[in-house]
Amino acid sequence: MGALIRALAARLVQAALVALLVGVACFAIVELLPGDQAYRVASARYGEDMASGKAAEAVRAELGLDRPWPIRLAAWLGGIATFDLGVSLVSGENVAVELGHQFGATLGLSLLALALSAAVGIPLGIAMALRGGALDAGGLVVAAALRATPAYLIGLGLMLLIAVQWGLLPAAGYDNAAAWPLPAATLALGLAAMSMRVTRDAAARVLARADTHFARTKGLPESAVLRRHVLRNAGVPVVAYLGVQLVWLVEGVVVVESLFSWPGIGHALIHAVIARDVPMLQGTALTMGLLFVALNAAVDLLCLAIDPRGRRA
């Protein structure tokens, strides 16, 4: 149990640091962006044509943008600490409420993509390690090609082919189940390429080990050797690598959501940047960061579940 508590405590500290860093960084980014903040907000709110100097002054007064920056920063950080994320400078809506809607969309997409990539990448990687030969060589080439292709290119390719050319699925939207496969597949392809590669290397290593050989000479049938020994041992590096894949996932979510107009956190983040909507920017970045930490904590727990060696000491 000690290791479990330690792992969770470390992630909790990480979450607090993420919150602090995001708060300060978001604030600094917007301070350093060129152009007058109040004016940008006014034009985002009332439209480019309606944004007059007067409207900007009104916004400045309403949001306290004329206070000195240390005071505004302190107010922001205080807000984060009390989970009061303020109101969107653009829509005037409560940020936490908006995030609540978007979070479901992003979490669903991320989990679906992770599940898809595991369902494709792990069995393929194991098959490559077991069979070798052409399957292995071909798989490695495909994995390398997929990994070298940026997510937006994969997404565009899928969109053009499946949505535009064949008309099988909608290119954008969120409302029905048909909208899910394309963005999820875009995210999953890159992830699957990585897990296939890692699974293959891990399985090949375990298959060549003395303990696997002993499992065979003890007399276990090959299916039991794989099921009881190889899979679990190969699973240790595969799950540990999930932590690395999460970085890619968080990046990919931002790109893919924008590409497919997916109403999630990543999409909202890009919009917040364009509109210089500090509370929204901060809220979305914070949510992404905390989602990253939470998924990593889940990976930690999974690691402890698979590899009992770390549980004590």
Binding site for another protein (CB under 8 A): 209-211, 213-221, 224, 228-229, 232-233, 236, 306-309, 312-313
Residue 202 to residue 235: CA distance in whole angstroms: 8
- For residue 85, give the nearest of 292, 274, 265, 267 by alpha carbon: 265
**b vs e for 46-59, b when ≥16 Cβ sit within 10 Å of the residue's Cβ?**
eeeeebeeebbeeb
Residue whose CB is less far from another protein, 167 or 308:
308
Residue whose CB is less far from another protein, 67 or 209:
209
Least distance to another protein, CB of residue 229, Å? 5
Instruction: Using CB atoms within 10 Å of the CB of residue 61, give its burial: 0 to 12 exposed, 13 to 18 middle, 19+ buried.
Output: exposed
Least distance to another protein, CB of residue 304, Å? 12
Least distance to another protein, CB of residue 224, Å? 5
Residue whose CB is less far from another protein, 226 or 259:
226
Least distance to another protein, CB of residue 98, Å? 45
Least distance to another protein, CB of residue 130, Å? 15
Residue whose CB is less far from another protein, 36 or 307:
307
- For residue 42, give the nearest of 90, 88, 86, 87 by alpha carbon: 90
167 dihedral zone (left: phi>0; alpha: psi -120 to 50; beta): left
Residue whose CB is less far from another protein, 194 or 230:
230
Residue 261 to residue 151: CA distance in whole angstroms: 15
